[in-house]
Amino acid sequence: MARSTSARNSNASIIQSTNYEKDVESQKDVEKQADAADALETLTNREALRDPNVVDWDGLDDPANPMNWPLSRKVAVIGIVSFITLLSPLASTMISPATAGVMAAFHSNNATLGAFVTSVYLLGYAFGPLVIAPLSELYGRAVMYNVNNVIFLIFSIACAVASNMGALIVFRLFAGIAASCPITLGAGTIADMIPHERRGLAMALWIMGPLVGPTFAPLAGGYLAAAAGWRWIFWLITIVAGVACIVTALFMRESYAYVILQCKTKRLQKETGNPHLRSALDKGIHPKQLFRTTIVRPLRMLVLSPIIFVVSLETATGYGYMYLLFTTFPRIFEGQYGFLEKSVGLTYLGVGIGSFVGLFFTGAFSDRVVAALTKRNGGKPEPEYRLPAMLIGSLLLPIGLFIYAWTAEEKVHWIAPIIGTAVLGGGIFMIFMPGLSYLVDAYTVYAASVSAASTVFRSLLGALLPLVGDSMYDSLGVGWGSSLLGFIAVAFIPVPVILWFYGERIRESRFSKAQF
C-alpha cells in the first residue's frame, strides 16, 4: 500500500514537473511574441521617423546594391578590372629587355637613362592616383576606368611613333598615369561587391596583374623586339589596350554605392519633382570642397596613419626590389651567363612562377585563416586576420634575395639565381596581397584613397630604386649589393607580428582616428 501511495506521489510529481515545463515554455513563447511585437513596433516607428526625403537602398535585398548583384555580374566586373589591371603593369616592363635597342635607335649610351625608360612609367603610378582616387569618389569608378583606358590607348600609340628618347620618356609617363587607374580603384571595386570574409580570392585574382604582369611581359618583349623591333612592343600594347577599351565600355557597371545612390536621387527628383530629395550617403559637402578634401586624403592617410605608412613602406620595398632586379637582369644574365637579348626574358619567369605559387597559396590560405579566426572571435572579423600570410612573405623575401645574391656572385649554374628570384617573387606577392587586403579591411570606407596612398609610395620606390641598381652593383658587386637589400628586408620581418598584437590598438588610438 505504501509502495502504491509512493508511486502515485511520484507520478503526481512528474505531472507537476511536466506542467511546470509547459508553463515555462508557454511563457517563453509569449515573451518571444512580445519581443517580436516590440521589435516590429520599433521598426515601424523608426520608418515613420525617418526623413522621407532621404534616398536609400530599397531594403537589405535591393538588387541595385552591388553587394546583392548576381554572381555572374560580379565575376564579369572583377574579370574586366583584373584584365585591365594585368595590362597596366604588362606595359611597364615589356620594354625592359629591348632597352639596348631603344638606346641604339636614339644614339644614347647612358645606362641610367635607359633604365629610366622602363621605370618612368611607375612615376605615373605615383602621380595618377592622387587625382584618380578623388575623382572616382565624385563621379564613380566606371567612368574613370573608361576615360583612362582611352588616355592609355592614345599614349601607347604615341610611344610607338616617338621620334626621340625625350618624347618616349614623356609619353611613357602619361601612359603610366592613365594605367594607374585600375591599380588605384581595383581594391575599392572589389570591396564594393564582395563581403569581407570572401574577399581574399577576389583580391588574389586582381593583384595577380600588378605582380605577375611585369614578370611575363619581358619574355614576350624580348622575342618581339628581336623579331620585329622595339616599336612593335608598343603596337602590341596598343592592340590589347583597344580591346580593353571596348570590353570595359560595353560591360563595366558602376559599383560605388555613393554614386549609385546619387544617380537614384537625381532620377527620383525628376520623377517626383521634389528637389529636397538627397542621398543617404550625401555628406552635404559641395563637390568642389569634396574634391579638395579627397585629393589630399591619400597623402594625409599616408602621413597620419602609422599603419598605412608602415604597411605601404614594406610593400613598396618589395615592389622596388622587383623592378631593380628587372632592370639589372640583362646585366647579370647576358653579361655573366651569356644569354641572348631575346632569351633574357626567360629569366623573368622565376619571379613569375614564384608569384603564381604565392597567388594560389595566399588566395586559399588567407580566406580560410580569416574564416577560422572570425569564428573563434564570435563571428566578428578583424583586419589583422590577414597578417599571418604577410608574415610568411616577410620571411621569404630576404631568403630569396640572399639566394639570388650569392649564387649569382659565385656564378653558380643560372638556374640557381632564378630559383632565388622565384622565392623572392612568392615573398613579394605574399606581402603585397595581404598587406593591401589588410589596409582595405581596416579603411573600407576610404578603400580607393588607401589604395592610392599605398600605390604612390610603392610606385615612387619602383621608379627610383632601379636607377641606382647599376651603380650599387658596380660598387658592391652582385653578392653584397643584393645582400644589402636582403638586410633591409629582414628589418621588416617584425612588422606583421607587431601589427598582430598592437594593430587594433593603433587603429583605435586617437592619433589614428584623425579625420581623413
**pLDDT tens across 226-280, in order?**
888 889 999 999 999 999 999 999 999 898 888 888 888 888 888 888 887 777 7
Quickly tell me which residue has 557597371 as its cell: 253
388-406 burial: b if 16+ Cβ within 10 Å, else e: bbbbbbbbbbbbbbbbbbb
Least confident of 35-44, 376-385, 416-425, 450-459: 35-44
pTM passes above 0.75: no
Domain boundaries, the chain: 69-253+285-508
At the fourth CATH level, the homologous superfamily of domain 69-253+285-508 is MFS general substrate transporter like domains (1.20.1250.20)
Which residues fall within 8 angstroms of residue 458, CB to CB, at 6 or more apart? 125, 312, 315, 316, 319, 320
Residue of 215, 229, 84 whose CA lies nearest to 153? 84
Tell me the per-residue pLDDT of 131-167, one tens digit each, with 9 for 90 and over: 888 888 788 899 999 999 999 999 999 999 998 888 9
Q: How far apart are CA 214 and CA 217, in angstroms?
A: 5
Least confident of 212-226, 344-358, 405-419, 468-482: 212-226
Tell me the per-residue pLDDT of 60-119, one tens digit each, with 9 for 90 and over: 888 888 888 998 899 899 889 988 988 888 888 788 778 888 888 888 887 778 778 887
What pLDDT is attached to residue 142?
Answer: 92
| Mean predicted confidence (pLDDT) in 417-432 | 90
Which residues fall within 8 angstroms of residue 478, CB to CB, at 6 or more apart? 332, 405, 408, 409
DSSP codes, 448-474 = HHHHHHHHHHHHHHHHHGGGGHHHHHH
What's the DSSP call for residue 331?
Answer: I
Q: How far apart are CA 241 and CA 491, in angstroms?
A: 40
pLDDT of 26 higher than 80: no
